[in-house]
Amino acid sequence: MQFTTSKRLVALAFGAMVIAGACGNSSATSAPTSSATAAPTAGATAGASQVAGISGSIIVSGSSTVEPISAGVAEALAAAKKGFKWTVTGPGTGDGFKTFCAGETDISDASRKIKDEEAKLCADKGIKYVELKIAFDGMSVLTSVKNTAVACLSFADLYALVGPESTGFAKWSDAASIAKALGSNTAFPDAPLSIIGPGEESGTYDSFVEIAFKAIATARKQDPKVTRPDYTASANDNAIIDGIAGSDTSLGWVGFAFAEENKDKVQEIKVAKDVNGTCVAPDAATIADGSYPLSRSLYLYVNTAKAKANPAISAYVDYYLTDGTISKVLETVPYVNLPAATLAATRDAWAAAK
């Protein structure tokens, strides 16, 4: 087993294990864990008995958001099936697709759907794959616990603060003119605006821009795929959290699970989809039912040719989708389980592809 980490320490227990998450790009600096040094997983191994003996290894890379789930599943399977070897890394969804479409990995974790240009890259390289939805997640908008002036932001407010037209804004109040033009009546504080968030290699960046900004930017004839460039972009969620916590009037965003793990350091801002609309806080229920505006799905992309040639890949995905596997991991990582019907559709897609 190998699990490269730069982002966080997450207790993932199928018994006792400590794994570390990664976020961002290939600049991850922390040392990988080898199969020789990994702490053994004890306790429950939901569904592992249904998986036949395994020989071989798998390589999984991509989203740092999905990484803790995939690593937790692999750790549990390896504990039950000693011949199973694995590597899970989290350089970011975009960087993960680059290596996946180059044939360098077996499975790509993703916190968004594959882009058209990425799908073309895979097609050009002869890489065929199946898309498997495995959980729900949200993106939390954050500020310092000391910031009492901001409790809710609409998509229009977020665009005014972080969108491509806000380049150079140094104070929250600088965004008032754009917000007002979009119909917002939000009163922004006359305070320094320090923005920290994921970089462009991150699926969390892509999803945030896609969901919150695309419609507004398109209507205003701006690039719908970017934020303002003059913010602190980090490949490491620990650095994002520390930056937000370290500035009294900060603004940033990360995946919901990581925000929940750091509620002692940062506070989550409620989000409204519509201008001056209903403010909704992120939690398991609002993410699952889609009422939280920054909800999203999480995916695995499996190279189908490699899965047919390597029994370890098929065994891993089989185990991933077995009753109780994902839900057991999600007891300690605060993502949200799929409804039974959606998980059944995922299993059907996998059964048809393998």
pLDDT in tens, 76-121: 999 988 889 999 999 999 999 999 999 999 999 999 999 999 999 9
pLDDT at residue 52, as a whole number = 57
pLDDT at residue 222, as a whole number = 98
pLDDT at residue 291, as a whole number = 96
> 21: pLDDT confidence band, cut at 50, 70 and 90?
very low
- Contact (CB, 8 A) for 321 and 313: no
Note the CATH architecture for domain 2-137+298-353. 3-Layer(aba) Sandwich (3.40)
229's tokens: 């460039």
Stretch(es) of the chain classified as CATH 3.40.190.10 = 2-137+298-353, 138-295
Q: What is the pTM of this model?
A: 0.80
* Bridge partner residues of 18 (DSSP): 11
Tell me: pLDDT of 199 over 60.
yes
Give Dmax over CA atoms of the chain in angstroms. Answer: 63
What average pLDDT does this structure show over 167-185?
98
pLDDT at residue 14, as a whole number = 37
Query: How far is 257 from 10, CA to CA, in rounded Å?
Result: 10
- φ, ψ of residue 298 to 5 degrees: the values are -115, 145
Q: How far is CA 189 from CA 3, 65, 266, in A?
A: 42, 32, 18
**Tally of residues, the chain:** 354
- Contact (CB, 8 A) for 300 and 132: yes
Q: CATH class for domain 138-295?
A: alpha beta
What average pLDDT does this structure show over 228-235?
94
Question: Over the chain, what is the mean pLDDT?
Answer: 87
Query: How far is 6 from 35, CA to CA, in rounded Å?
Result: 18
pLDDT at residue 51, as a whole number = 56
- Contact (CB, 8 A) for 188 and 257: no
- Contact (CB, 8 A) for 31 and 14: no
Query: How far is 6 from 354, CA to CA, in rounded Å?
Result: 33
pLDDT at residue 4, as a whole number = 41
Query: How far is 97 from 158, CA to CA, in rounded Å?
Result: 28
